[in-house]
Structure 1
Amino acid sequence: MSRPALLDPPSTAPAPGTPGGPPLGLLGRLAGLSFRRRRLTVLAWLLAVVAAVGAGAAWSGEFEADYTVKGSDSRAAQDLLSERFPGQAGDTVDVVLRAPDGVRAAEAQVDRLLAELAAVPHVQSVDDPFETPGALSDDGTVAVAKLRLDVVNPVDVPLEDSERLVAVAEEAATAELQVALGGQTIAATEQGEIGSEGIGLAAAALILLLAFGSVVAAGLPILTAVVGLGVSASLVGVVAGVIGVPDWSTSLAAMMGIGVGIDYVLLLVTRYREQLAGGRDPYSAAVSTAETAGRSVVVAGSTVVISLLGLFAMGLDYMRGAALVTILAVLIVMAAASTLVPALFGFTGRRVDALRIPGLRPQHGASPTWTRWSRLVQRRPLVSAAAGLGVLVLLAAPMAGLRYGFPDSGNNPEGTNTRTAYDLTAAAFGPGANGPLLLAASLPAPGDAAAVEALAEEVRRAPGVASVSPVSLSPAQDTAVVTVVPTTGPQDPSTETLVRTLREDVVPQATAGTGTAVHVGGVTASAIDSTDDVAKRLPLLVGGVVALSMLLLLVVFRSVALAVKAAVMNLLSMAAAFGVVAYVLEGGWAGQLFGIDTPTPLPAFIPVLMFAVLFGLSMDYEVFLLSRIRERWVATGDNSRAVAEGLAGTARVITAAAAIMVAVFAAFVPSPAVFLKVIGIGMATAILIDATVVRMLLVPAVLQLLGRATWWSPAWLDRRLPRVHVEGRPEHHVELPEPHLPGPRTAPAPA
């Protein structure tokens, strides 16, 4: 077998951008300018970081996320209470008190505690457990007092105020009185920050050192990612001042910026080193890198942006905010890859492999090991394809049992305030006490609550109801509230059945003809509505993102088979990742490895978010690999050789890039927040599967089976598609030992 063409002697033809050489494209001209004006380019990026930090300090907005569904019954209940009964509309903190000798025996101590808590900012009122019906357990050992806050969204409570609540409770606890706080505000306080960005960067630096064997070569991707992160992270607050941005999106945007930034620059540095090893001078090498790998970066980044734009179709405000800041991070690292990296090449020149790590020898060009692997797969393509498909199906199997919903405090780690409060409440009052429903009623006339009283009696007799509170009227007597405690917990399917029964049967029948409008709300009802809403919109997202990505690949590679193959394989790899997530969420031995010790539902917005991000990242590796395979196909006209040499030339880059991505997303896993933990597990698993089973096994096997049909497209379509040279024109950048122009694609030879 002949050696890979990238190891052949360099061409004697003039380099692109030099006198007598071929003309440069936009990226080549931009790289050349950045290389020549490298000091000015670096200074411009440093000024951009300073300007972004200044803009963030001057115009930063507050993070906010409204997870309620517009037009839903739970949203109508929330709006009604916010407008007419604000005392019942705000977020609440549960103060759970347990005294073995009886809570009344510690009444003086409880009163002092509640008085101190009432003095903390944002606490609007306190429900006295000794005067509130149903707040004291039957045996008198457990009581629940509610702190009613003056904010609806828990993130609107400053961290120092929520921490003060926790501190007051801890100071009041004694051997005779156990105190635990529950609620979303306290849960947000306990989650805190874990420095995921630093963990991801440290892991990426180690992998790059092992991949390049040189401090300088490994430092270029890290430096570029840090500069890009400095700009994008500072501008997140500015975006939050314009559109609602959830607080967790900052971590997602940072991880994406770091991950794709390092991946893209890794590809550029690898190509630059190959160009130098092939005999190019630093300037020509930088320009040729931009004209080849630089174009792959632009196409790959565009697929990520397209996937994230699909989140706008979901019609969810918080999802738009998360998508916008993440797109911003990706665009900034793309700009840095196109300008800052060529400028840094100008400073390093031929010393890109300087400061070598002892024992690690820099490697250039194609890998003989990966060449042999590709040939092995191609000799048994059916067996290889069946093995890869079998692995994906096996991993995806647990997805059939995936439960959707919002995790609650019962899923938090044992020993936390919120988990303790949840367990004490469930043991004393039943599981449904942790997820009460609210019936919010608009009365036909002030004080006319007869229909609501009759409704409360009907609800008491409904299956699945543990208790119903007395009717509470607003100060204006025009709104009434009834609290309904189910017999089952917030995540139990029976609770969802109860919500639907109340909305569809009990409430309409009890209020018919009375002029009383009643809405079923509360945190549990809101979670049910949100899950249903996302589930209805998910097919639109999947269909839109897949169709746009296939169209992009069709234009880039001019092949129907490649576009379809990419979509199918990406969907299979994501199904496998969701299967792993489902298995972990079961709370068995796999879940306990990651700190999930109870069966936990998956918030419906997480699959949406993961799909958009992962589909784009999977397309990154698809573009990196297929660009090089197509380059070798154009050079040789031999599909089998093109696959082997293309895989050998990119496998090291893809595996290193995937390892970095896995490390970056795995940094989410230690997070106390269940949804961040799940995002980390799912994304790290998906990238690992995609870069190993899919790219290194299924792709070469399937392309071998397709043969020349891999590059086929109908003649009428081929004439209408624009010409896009993703890797530039290979004949200008690498030696083509066997010049070849592919024949007509309308009648491909059989595989």
Structure 2
Amino acid sequence: MTRLGRFVDRRRRWILAAWLLLLLAALPLSLRQQDELRLGGFISEGSQSDTVGDQLRDSFPSVPRNQLRVLLVGGEDSAPSDFRAAAGAAERAVGERENLTLRTEGAAGARRVGERRVAVLALEIQASYAKSLDISDELRTRFEGGAVGAGPVRAQLVGRTVYGATAQGLSRSGLAKAEAVGFPLVLVILLAVFGSLAAATLPVAMAITSVVVTGAVIFVLAQVTTMSVFVSSVASMVGIGVAVDYSLFMLARYREELLGGACRGEAWATMLATSGRTVAFSGVTVVVALASLWVIDNQGIRSVALGAITVVTVSVVTAVALLPVLIRSLGDRAVRPGRIRSLTGMVRAALARRGHPGSAGFWSRWARTVMAHPGAAITGSLAILLVLSLPLLAIELGDDSLRQIPADHEVRQGAALLERVGEAGAGSPVLVTVRFRRPPGRQDLGGVAARLRAQREVKRIEGPTVGGDGRTALIAATLAHDPESPQAKDLVRRLRAGALGQEGLAGRATVAVGGPTATAIDLVGLVSDNVWRLVVLILVLSYLVLVAVLRSLLLPLKAVVLTMFSLAASYGVLVAVFQWGWLDPLLGSESLGHVQAISVPVVLAVVFGLSMDYEIFLLRRIRERYEATGDSERAVAEGLERSAPVISSAALIMVTVFAVFVLTSLPGVKQIGLGNAVAIALDATLVRLVLVPASMCVLGRWNWWLPSPIERLLGGPRGRASAGARP
């Protein structure tokens, strides 16, 4: 880090010019990243739904890959000629394309729904899911707001890829809204912390730089692989929080050294050697936690991890290779108090007279108070965390496409109208493929079709159709229910359990059940089956990284255990809010009856990474004081005194950033934002300010115990902590 500091100092102008060029190149790509993201990517490799998709592509190339529905909605007195004219308008809006087929014969079958008459037209798309999303997005904008129609009859577009395209649009607008609210709030908090506009602006500038550069990387990655629609939101919320936090830690250390009497050069060098090194270690810890998501073999989840890893990496680089340059260039202006300081100074003076947070020595007294009653502190804090965790016992995972869209959106209302017409399952059939070892007979196919038709949820079937290979048969079942409904999911589970007569086909054929409903079930199963592997991997990797950073065996163990308590509490809150709907009116959302499957692993990885961040910043300061004094309790008190104000400010910023994303429209993003906000808030209060000092008091000299062989493996003893670490 010292060598890097010398290089940065010598090449300040060149480094600034390079960053400026990078930003100019990245900005246009970053602004276009949302156009390249997909609601898809959540296919479970090797699942039955994946198998059906492969067989459709290989054996049934002429079967439409995706289907939409065009609703023609008129008044109860609308004439058949009005519906025919509206169908013609819809046909013109769709245009002439080889991969699009609009079947207008449904215009003659308008049905009465309340005070309206509704006709349903089928629109077939012969393209991949990704291409179908692009087509649907284009068509959606043409049909939006009833722009297509004739006379009193207006056309409305619904269907799975329309829902995906709509979610993309909501993701774009939600991200813009969150950033527009989040950045000013972060700036206000930083102004209160530093009392200097220049100092407050620097972390925000680092966050903007990190998010913009990451956006460009996401755009490039989306050209070669599927990137989920959730990537930008997760990368933005993590990037803003992490970049600001890292910058805050660096600036706070620089200011602390100046106030301690160091000259600017010495303060700058110490900042890089201490906080700069800690930022690098913390970044590695976060990246390791996020990389653990690779244990789940799913491109959507991995793409979210990739976006978050990218923004954390860029944030570390900006903190150690751009922020020091700006601090050096700004000189005293980077830390000089402005007029705002007089206000915060008055507040702190008032707090000092009352012994409140913000006054000199408060955190030291707080730590000593906690350490005077460690048993009560530990028992009380764990009791609170356990109570918050109780709803976790009832957690149900799910996956939705349509219900990602707000209930008052015209696409949702169109889907509800389709259900009232009795065509809720149209366009999203359950697909059954039967692959025989040798060409099947009529009796073989008829038996499977009859069993499928006999299921109470099935409205009609198409097929069986034998594919080009002569051995694979396809049957499509349109349901009377919404494909995301419990009835549809129950049907898929029954079919897979043997309701299609699989036992009688054993040895002769293999049956697979796919389609949108099956895809969602397979994703939930994939996450449920692998989340324990993810937990174990994150625990082990985080522990090993912390052992290397903290040079202790027990402190890392304590850290990962306490983080699990915070995480369990945040999951409990997610269940109460989104599964049970406790805060639906306040959040403007609707209870889904489950927690989104993608939210569980993403919150797990992000929370673990960021919690380890705060653990490293706090314990490295405590270690510094222990190496200087050799007194464990004094080191905890003084370390907390020096780090708690900065950690509390950083956590407040992080919680604010995550909480802002609860204002977005997509439930998946809301859940990730709220889950992270709750976990970080608990981690920065109950864990860092109560459980850490209390548990360190109980452990005493065991805190820094490190067996000699491991000590030598890590590079030998380092200071008093290592020398006196044996209890």
The reply on whether 1:251 has 2:210 as its aligned counterpart is: no
What amino acid sits opposite 2:122 in the alignment?
K
Q: Distance in 2 between matches of 1:667 and 1:159?
A: 30
Aligned counterpart, 1:188: 165
Aligned counterpart, 1:239: 221
CA contact (8 A) 1:444 1:515 kept: yes
Q: How does 1:144-183 map to 2 (within 5 A)?
A: 144-153=120-129, 156-157=133-134, 161-167=138-144, 169-172=146-149, 179=156, 181-183=158-160
* CA offsets 1:408-427 (integer angstroms, 9 cap, x no match): 42463222123212322333
Q: Classify 1:550/1:236 alpha carbon distance in 2 versus 1 (closer, same or farther; 3 Å).
A: same
The reply on whether 1:595 has 2:577 as its aligned counterpart is: no
| Greater helix content | 2
Q: Distance in 2 between matches of 1:314 and 1:682?
A: 20
> Which is further off, 210-219 or 141-150?
141-150
Deviation, 1:236, is 1.9
What SS class does the counterpart of residue 41 from structure 2 fall into? coil
1:355 is matched with which residue: 338, 343, 354? 338
CA contact (8 A) 1:41 1:340 kept: yes
Aligned counterpart, 2:533: 540
The reply on whether 1:319 has 2:315 as its aligned counterpart is: no
The reply on whether 1:745 has 2:722 as its aligned counterpart is: no
Q: Classify 1:741/1:312 alpha carbon distance in 2 versus 1 (closer, same or farther; 3 Å).
A: closer
2:24 is matched with which residue: 41, 50, 64? 50
Aligned counterpart, 1:17: none
Q: Distance in 1 between matches of 2:445 and 2:503?
A: 8
Normalising by the residue count of structure 1, what TM-score does the alignment of the two structures yield? 0.85
CA contact (8 A) 1:587 1:597 kept: no
What SS class does the counterpart of residue 322 from structure 2 fall into? helix
Aligned counterpart, 1:643: 636
Q: Classify 1:178/1:33 alpha carbon distance in 2 versus 1 (closer, same or farther; 3 Å).
A: closer
What SS class does the counterpart of residue 469 from structure 1 fall into? strand
What amino acid sits opposite 1:81 in the alignment?
L
CA contact (8 A) 1:94 1:183 kept: no
CA contact (8 A) 2:448 2:501 kept: no
2:260 is matched with which residue: 278, 282, 288? 278
Q: How does 1:391-430 map to 2 (within 5 A)?
A: 391-410=384-403, 412-429=405-422
* CA offsets 1:420-464 (integer angstroms, 9 cap, x no match): 1232233342866686412234578889655333322112334x4
CA contact (8 A) 1:395 1:576 kept: yes
Q: Distance in 1 between matches of 2:464 and 2:150?
A: 32
CA contact (8 A) 1:210 1:360 kept: yes
Normalising by the residue count of structure 2, what TM-score does the alignment of the two structures yield? 0.88
Aligned counterpart, 1:210: 192
CA contact (8 A) 1:451 1:510 kept: no
CA contact (8 A) 1:451 1:514 kept: no
Aligned counterpart, 1:118: 94
CA contact (8 A) 1:200 1:255 kept: no
Q: How does 1:257-336 map to 2 (within 5 A)?
A: 257-336=239-318
Q: Classify 1:672/1:127 alpha carbon distance in 2 versus 1 (closer, same or farther; 3 Å).
A: farther
Q: How does 1:461-540 map to 2 (within 5 A)?
A: 461-462=454-455, 464-471=456-463, 473=465, 478=470, 480-486=473-479, 489-493=482-486, 495-509=488-502, 512=505, 517-540=510-533
Q: Classify 1:181/1:680 alpha carbon distance in 2 versus 1 (closer, same or farther; 3 Å).
A: same
Aligned counterpart, 2:51: 76
Q: Distance in 2 between matches of 1:599 and 1:242?
A: 33
Deviation, 1:286, is 0.5
Q: Distance in 1 between matches of 2:98 and 2:36?
A: 17
CA contact (8 A) 1:94 1:145 kept: yes
CA contact (8 A) 1:35 1:283 kept: no
What SS class does the counterpart of residue 414 from structure 1 fall into? coil
Q: How does 1:571-582 map to 2 (within 5 A)?
A: 571-582=564-575
Aligned counterpart, 2:645: 652
Deviation, 1:45, is 1.7
Q: Classify 1:528/1:58 alpha carbon distance in 2 versus 1 (closer, same or farther; 3 Å).
A: closer
What SS class does the counterpart of residue 148 from structure 1 fall into? strand
Aligned counterpart, 1:29: 3
Q: Distance in 1 between matches of 2:701 and 2:507?
A: 73
2:367 is matched with which residue: 374, 377, 401? 374
Q: Classify 1:476/1:101 alpha carbon distance in 2 versus 1 (closer, same or farther; 3 Å).
A: farther
CA contact (8 A) 1:121 1:161 kept: no
2:207 is matched with which residue: 220, 225, 244? 225
Deviation, 1:522, is 0.8
Q: Distance in 2 between matches of 1:567 and 1:245?
A: 30
The count of corresponding residues between Structure 1 and Structure 2 is 706
Aligned counterpart, 1:555: 548
What amino acid sits opposite 1:42 in the alignment?
L
Q: Classify 1:656/1:516 alpha carbon distance in 2 versus 1 (closer, same or farther; 3 Å).
A: same
1:712 is matched with which residue: 705, 708, 721? 705
CA contact (8 A) 1:303 1:616 kept: yes
Q: Classify 1:232/1:331 alpha carbon distance in 2 versus 1 (closer, same or farther; 3 Å).
A: same
CA contact (8 A) 1:240 1:321 kept: no
What SS class does the counterpart of residue 397 from structure 2 fall into? coil
> Which is further off, 291-300 or 117-126?
117-126
> Which is further off, 289-298 or 714-723?
714-723
1:107 is matched with which residue: 71, 83, 104? 83
Q: Classify 1:744/1:657 alpha carbon distance in 2 versus 1 (closer, same or farther; 3 Å).
A: closer
CA contact (8 A) 1:411 1:598 kept: no
Q: Distance in 1 between matches of 2:28 and 2:118?
A: 51
Q: Classify 1:522/1:129 alpha carbon distance in 2 versus 1 (closer, same or farther; 3 Å).
A: farther
Q: Distance in 2 between matches of 1:150 and 1:129?
A: 19
Q: Distance in 1 between matches of 2:216 and 2:425?
A: 43
Deviation, 1:138, is 10
* CA offsets 1:553-579 (integer angstroms, 9 cap, x no match): 112222222111111111111111111
What SS class does the counterpart of residue 331 from structure 1 fall into? helix
What amino acid sits opposite 1:471 in the alignment?
G
Q: Distance in 2 between matches of 1:124 and 1:711?
A: 68
* Structure 2, unaligned runs of 5 or more: 350-357
* CA offsets 1:170-213 (integer angstroms, 9 cap, x no match): 44387666846343324532524230333322221111011111
The reply on whether 1:94 has 2:74 as its aligned counterpart is: no
Q: Distance in 2 between matches of 1:311 and 1:322?
A: 9
Q: Distance in 2 between matches of 1:580 and 1:243?
A: 34
Q: Distance in 2 between matches of 1:430 and 1:441?
A: 26
CA contact (8 A) 1:667 1:680 kept: yes
Q: Classify 1:83/1:598 alpha carbon distance in 2 versus 1 (closer, same or farther; 3 Å).
A: same
Q: Distance in 2 between matches of 1:444 and 1:743?
A: 71
Deviation, 1:60, is 12
Q: Classify 1:54/1:40 alpha carbon distance in 2 versus 1 (closer, same or farther; 3 Å).
A: same
Aligned counterpart, 1:12: none
Q: How does 1:614-693 map to 2 (within 5 A)?
A: 614-693=607-686
The reply on whether 1:41 has 2:15 as its aligned counterpart is: yes
Q: Classify 1:244/1:154 alpha carbon distance in 2 versus 1 (closer, same or farther; 3 Å).
A: closer
What amino acid sits opposite 2:369 in the alignment?
L
Q: Distance in 1 between matches of 2:609 and 2:242?
A: 10
Q: Distance in 2 between matches of 1:593 and 1:115?
A: 42
What SS class does the counterpart of residue 280 from structure 1 fall into? coil
Aligned sequence identity (%): 32
CA contact (8 A) 1:455 1:511 kept: no
What SS class does the counterpart of residue 193 from structure 1 fall into? helix
What SS class does the counterpart of residue 597 from structure 1 fall into? coil
What SS class does the counterpart of residue 245 from structure 2 fall into? helix
Deviation, 1:89, is 4.3
